[in-house]
C-alpha cells in the first residue's frame, strides 16, 4: 500500500507540546508536513506559561529531518497562530484544535471564572483559530479542521459541567461548520480521544493509563486530515488502537393528537411517555432536512386524520416447534422427492432446519390477530376481501431455532394514499421471548383496495425499495408445479383469509376461483434460490425483498428466474402457463454463495429512453437553445442524477454557463449543484404536482453543492409546466 504523505501541506496543531498534540505533530512532520507546534506551555489548569514544551517538540521534529516552527500564543489569540503559519510557510491546510485545560469542580462549587476559562480555551479558542484560517481555506478551495471533544461531553461526567458543556458545544460547532464548508471542499470532523495526557493522568486507573498511548490515536486524526479522506461532519471516537463513528439517534416517537384540531394535554404526554422514550426502533438523525421532512410528514398525517400512535397491545407471543416448520415447508412445495428438501421435512435429519421465510408468518399474524391496521385507520371500515399483500421484506439476524417462544412487536411506519387504494406500511420485529435476542425484522406493505381520498402522501422514506434485475438473460431458472390443494395446505400456517379457500368469496373479490397466497409463491422461490446458490443451506440466508404483482391459481406452474450479483440474487417468479410475472423487483441477500452456476457478465442498459423525465430535459434543451442569453444569466452548472427505485438510471447536465443541456456528466468544469431525484418525482415537479421545496424537505429531492442556485431554475421549471 502506498504511504500516505503530507508533502507541501502546512498543519497547525494547538496544544502540541505534549500528549496527543505532540503525537499529532510528530506524525504529520514524519510524513512531510510543515508543522506549526503551538503550545502556551502552561499547566493543565491553565496556569503558567513556558516556551519549553513547544520548543522541545520542534527540536525533535527537526532532529528527525522534519520542518516545524514553534508558536507560544494562547488559542484565544488564534489569529496570531495562523499568522505564524503564513509568515513561516506561506499557507495553511490543516488546523487541529487540540489545546485544552481542566477546571474540575462540582456544580455547586464552580465559580464563574472556572466556567469562563474552560469555554474560552476549548470553544472560543477553536473558534478564533479556525476562523483565522477560514479565508485561506476558502481561497485555495481546500482545508481540514479537527475539533477535539470528549466522552465527558457526549455522556457527562461528575464535576465537569464546564468541560462537558464546552466539549459538546464543539460537536454542534462542527456540525454546522461542515455544512458551510462543503461547497469550498473544507472538511470538518470531531475526534473523541481517550489517551494518556496531563489532563487524564490522575483520572484514569494506572493500568489503563499505560495502554492509552497517544500514538495509537494520531493515525486516525492523520487520516481525517489527509487529502484522500472525504469524511466530514463526523464524530470519531478512538482509544487503545480502536476507533468508531458516533452519531445521534432518535426514538420513533409518538404523535399525541389525531388531527390538527386536537390539543395536547399534560395527560396525553403522561399516557404515552413510555412510547415517546422507547428506543427499540431508534434511527440515526443525520441532517436538518430529514428532521424537518419528518415533521412535515406528521402534519400531512394529521391533516388526513390518520393516527400513528403506538399501541400497548401491538405485541403478539407465539410458540412454534418442528412440526410447524415441517408444515410450512410442505406448504411452500418442499417434497421428499428432492433430497435437499429433506432437512425441512424430517425432524431426525442431521441438518434439520427451519426455512427462514417462516418468520414472515409472524408479520401476517399480527395484521390478522392485532388491531394495528384498524387503529391506523380508525375512521375506515376494512373489508378483508379488499386487503392485499403488496410487498414484503424480511431480514434474519441469526440461524433460526427449530422451536421457540417468540415475541413480535408491530408498528405502523406510514399510511400512503395511492389514489385507488391505501397502503399501510407495517414493521414487525421478532425476538426470542426468553432471552430478548432479536431474531428478525420485517416490513409489510398492506394494500387496501377502493379506499382513498384522504389526500395523504404517496411515498415514504421508510419503504425498503424493490430492485429490478440486471438487463440480461437469467443466470439460472427453476420450474415447479403447484398442486390444486396448495392454498388449502399453506393456509394451515395461520393465514386463514377465505379468499384462498372459499370460491364464493373469491368470486366476490373478482377472481374466478380461490387464489394462492403470495407468500406461498415467495416460499417456492426461496427454496429454489437456496438450492441453486446456497447448496440448500438456509443458514446462508440473510434477507429477502419482493413485490407481489399478480395472483397465482393453485395448480399453475411457477418458474423462478435468477440473476447473481455478488451475494445478492435477483429473481422474478413467473406463471409458466401464462408467462405472467407474479413476483417482481425481488432479491435475496446471502451471507455467501455456494454455487456451481457461473453468473453472466452484466451488460449495462444501453439507453434509458423510457424515462419520463427525458421529456422534461428535452423541453429544457429546446428552451435554452431558443433563449441562450437568458439561460446564461444563471451562470451555473447543474447535474441531475435520475433514479428509479433508488437505482441510478440517467444523468443530465444543465450547463447554464455555456447554454447547453445534454445527457451525462459535465464535459467541462464541475457541477455547482447536484440534484438526485426519482424519475417520477422529477416529472411531478416539472408538471407542478409537487412543490420542489416540499420534495426537498420530504427527502424526495436531494441536493448537494450550492443549494441557493436552484432558485434560479424557477423559470425553466415554469416553462416545463406549461409545455408538459
Residue 171 CA neighbour count, 13 Å, CB half = 21
Give residue for cell 443466470.
475
DSSP E strands: which ranges in 240-337? 242-246, 249-250, 283-284, 315-320
Could you tell me if 363 and 494 are in contact, meaning their C-beta atoms sit under 8 angstroms apart? no
- CA 471 to chain CA centroid, Å, is 27
Degrees (nearest 5) of the Cα angle 224, 225, 231?
40
DSSP string computed for 460-471 = -TT-----PPPS
Q: Hey, CA dihedral for 152, 153, 155, 161, is it positive or negative? A: positive
Clarify whether 359 is annotated catalytic: no
CA distance 193 to 150: 6
Could you tell me if 146 and 95 are in contact, meaning their C-beta atoms sit under 8 angstroms apart? yes
Q: What is the strand order of the sheet 637-644 is part of?
A: 660-663, 647-655, 637-644, 673-678, 701-705
Degrees (nearest 5) of the Cα angle 682, 683, 686?
90
CA distance 534 to 526: 11
Give residue for cell 494562547.
74
DSSP string computed for 70-128 = EE---GGGHHHHHHHHHHHHS---EEEE---------GGG--HHHHHHHHIIIIIHHHH
Q: Which of 491, 489, 459 is nearest to 646 (CA)?
A: 459
Contacts of 67 (CB under 8 A, 6+ apart): 29, 33, 34, 35, 61, 89
| Per annotation, catalytic residue among 24, 136, 163, 358 | 163
Q: Hey, CA dihedral for 484, 488, 493, 499, is it positive or negative? A: positive
Could you tell me if 497 and 530 are in contact, meaning their C-beta atoms sit under 8 angstroms apart? no
635: left (phi over 0), alpha (psi -120 to 50) or beta: left
Q: Hey, CA dihedral for 479, 530, 482, 473, is it positive or negative? A: negative
Catalytic site positions: 163
Amino acid at each position: 500500500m502506498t504511504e500516505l504523505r503530507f508533502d507541501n501541506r502546512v498543519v497547525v496543531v494547538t496544544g502540541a507540546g505534549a500528549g496527543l498534540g505532540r503525537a499529532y505533530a510528530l506524525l504529520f512532520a514524519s510524513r512531510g508536513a510543515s508543522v506549526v507546534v503551538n503550545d502556551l506551555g502552561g499547566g493543565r489548569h491553565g496556569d503558567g506559561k513556558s516556551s519549553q514544551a513547544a520548543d522541545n517538540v520542534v527540536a525533535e521534529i527537526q532532529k528527525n529531518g522534519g520542518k516545524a516552527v514553534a508558536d507560544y500564543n494562547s488559542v484565544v489569540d488564534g489569529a496570531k497562530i495562523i499568522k505564524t503559519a503564513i509568515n513561516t510557510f506561506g499557507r495553511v491546510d490543516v488546523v487541529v484544535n487540540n489545546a485544552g485545560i481542566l477546571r474540575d469542580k462540582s456544580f455547586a462549587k464552580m465559580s464563574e471564572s472556572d466556567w469562563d476559562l474552560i469555554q474560552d480555551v476549548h470553544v472560543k479558542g477553536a473558534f478564533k483559530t479556525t476562523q483565522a484560517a477560514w479565508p485561506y481555506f476558502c481561497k485555495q478551495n481546500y482545508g481540514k479542521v479537527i475539533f477535539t471533544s470528549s466522552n465527558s461531553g457526549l455522556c457527562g461526567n461528575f464535576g465537569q459541567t464546564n468541560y462537558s458543556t464546552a466539549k459538546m458545544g464543539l460537536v454542534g460547532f462542527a456540525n454546522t461548520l461542515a455544512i458551510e464548508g462543503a461547497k469550498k471542499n473544507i472538511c470538518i470532523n470531531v475526534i473523541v480521544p481517550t489517551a494518556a495526557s496531563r489532563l487524564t493522568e490522575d483520572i484514569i486507573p494506572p493500568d489503563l493509563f499505560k495502554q492509552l498511548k497517544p500514538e495509537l490515536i494520531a493515525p486516525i486524526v492523520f487520516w481525517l486530515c489527509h487529502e484522500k479522506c472525504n469524511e466530514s461532519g463526523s464524530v470519531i471516537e478512538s482509544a487503545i488502537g480502536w476507533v468508531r463513528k458516533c452519531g445521534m439517534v432518535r426514538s420513533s416517537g409518538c404523535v399525541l393528537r389525531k388531527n390538527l384540531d386536537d390539543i395536547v394535554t399534560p395527560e396525553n404526554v403522561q399516557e404515552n411517555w413510555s412510547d415517546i422514550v422507547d428506543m427499540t426502533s431508534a434511527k440515526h438523525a443525520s441532517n436538518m432536512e430529514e428532521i424537518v421532512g419528518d415533521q412535515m410528514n406528521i402534519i400531512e398525517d394529521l391533516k388526513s386524520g390518520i393516527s400513528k400512535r403506538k399501541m400497548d397491545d401491538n405485541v403478539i407471543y407465539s410458540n412454534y416447534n418442528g412440526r410447524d416448520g415441517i408444515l410450512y415447508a410442505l406448504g411452500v412445495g418442499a417434497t421428499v422427492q428432492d433430497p435437499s428438501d429433506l432437512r425441512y421435512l424430517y425432524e431426525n435429519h442431521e441438518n434439520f432446519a427451519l426455512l427462514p421465510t417462516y418468520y414472515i408468518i409472524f408479520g401476517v399474524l399480527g395484521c390478522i390477530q392485532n388491531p394495528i391496521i384498524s387503529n391506523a385507520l380508525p375512521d375506515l371500515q376494512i373489508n378483508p376481501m379488499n386487503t392485499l399483500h403488496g410487498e414484503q421484506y424480511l431480514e434474519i439476524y441469526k440461524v433460526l431455532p427449530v422451536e421457540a417462544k417468540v415475541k413480535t412487536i408491530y408498528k405502523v411506519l406510514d399510511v400512503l394514499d395511492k389514489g385507488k387504494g391505501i397502503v399501510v406500511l407495517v414493521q414487525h420485529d421478532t425476538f426470542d421471548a426468553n432471552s430478548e435476542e432479536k431474531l428478525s425484522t420485517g416490513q409489510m406493505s398492506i394494500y387496501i383496495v377502493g379506499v382513498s381520498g384522504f389526500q395523504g402522501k404517496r411515498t415514504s422514506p421508510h419503504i425498503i425499495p424493490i430492485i429490478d434485475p440486471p438487463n440480461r438473460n437469467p443466470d439460472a431458472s427453476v420450474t415447479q408445479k403447484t398442486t390444486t390443494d396448495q392454498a388449502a395446505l399453506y393456509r394451515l400456517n395461520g393465514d386463514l383469509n377465505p379468499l384462498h379457500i372459499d370460491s364464493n368469496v373469491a368470486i366476490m373479490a373478482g377472481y374466478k376461483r380461490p387464489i394462492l397466497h403470495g407468500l406461498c409463491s415467495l416460499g417456492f422461490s426461496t427454496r429454489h434460490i437456496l438450492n441453486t446458490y446456497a447448496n440448500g443451506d438456509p443458514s446462508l440466508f440473510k434477507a429477502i425483498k419482493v413485490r407481489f404483482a399478480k395472483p397465482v391459481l393453485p395448480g399453475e406452474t411457477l418458474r423462478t428466474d435468477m440473476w447473481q450479483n455478488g451475494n445478492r440474487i435477483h429473481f422474478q417468479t413467473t406463471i409458466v402457463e401464462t408467462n405472467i410475472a407474479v413476483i417482481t423487483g425481488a432479491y435475496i441477500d446471502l451471507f455467501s454463495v455456494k454455487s456451481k452456476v457461473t453468473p453472466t457478465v452484466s451488460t449495462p442498459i444501453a439507453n434509458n429512453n423510457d424515462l419520463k423525465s427525458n421529456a422534461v430535459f428535452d423541453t429544457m434543451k429546446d428552451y435554452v437553445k431558443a433563449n441562450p442569453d437568458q439561460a446564461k444569466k444563471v451562470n451555473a452548472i447543474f447535474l441531475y442524477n435520475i433514479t428509479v427505485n433508488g437505482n441510478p438510471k440517467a444523468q443530465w447536465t444543465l450547463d447554464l454557463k455555456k447554454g447547453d443541456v445534454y445527457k451525462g456528466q459535465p464535459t467541462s468544469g464541475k457541477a455547482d449543484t447536484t440534484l438526485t431525484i426519482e424519475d417520477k418525482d422529477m416529472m411531478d415537479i416539472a408538471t407542478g404536482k409537487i412543490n420542489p421545496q416540499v420534495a426537498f424537505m420530504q427527502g424526495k429531492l436531494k441536493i448537494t453543492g450550492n443549494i441557493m442556485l436552484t432558485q434560479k431554475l424557477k423559470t425553466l421549471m415554469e416553462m416545463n409546466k406549461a409545455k408538459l
